[in-house]
């Protein structure tokens, strides 16, 4: 992902892969996002799911609830400690 958005050939290739995946009805998950600039470029392609160091370094299992509370899970309501779901 480091070449996005700076390397035109990589951007063209990623765009083609995203379009192919969508034409096959697949969900696109981009791994390795590290910067807001990368997320902004990917967002211009439409809905993309992403993971990477921008969101979190690897964490122990007991730290996962805090990450879910912070970022939520797309398509699933997040239950906070105060009981709110949204």
Looking up tokens 């996962």 gives 64
Three-class SS state of 36: helix
37 is catalytic: no
Beta-carbon contacts of 50 under 8 Å, excluding residues fewer than 6 positions away, are: 29, 30, 31, 33, 39, 42
Pick the catalytic residue from 31, 34, 37, 69: 31
Which are the catalytic amino acids?
Answer: 31
């Amino acid at each position: 992902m480091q070449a996005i958005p700076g390397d035109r050939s990589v951007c063209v290739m990623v765009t083609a892969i995203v379009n192919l995946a969508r034409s096959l009805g697949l969900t696109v998950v981009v791994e390795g996002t590290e910067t807001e600039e990368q997320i902004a470029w990917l967002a211009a392609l439409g809905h993309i799911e992403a993971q990477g160091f921008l969101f979190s370094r690897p964490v122990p299992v007991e730290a996962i609830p805090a990450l879910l509370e912070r970022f939520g899970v797309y398509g699933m309501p997040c239950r906070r400690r105060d009981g709110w779901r949204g």
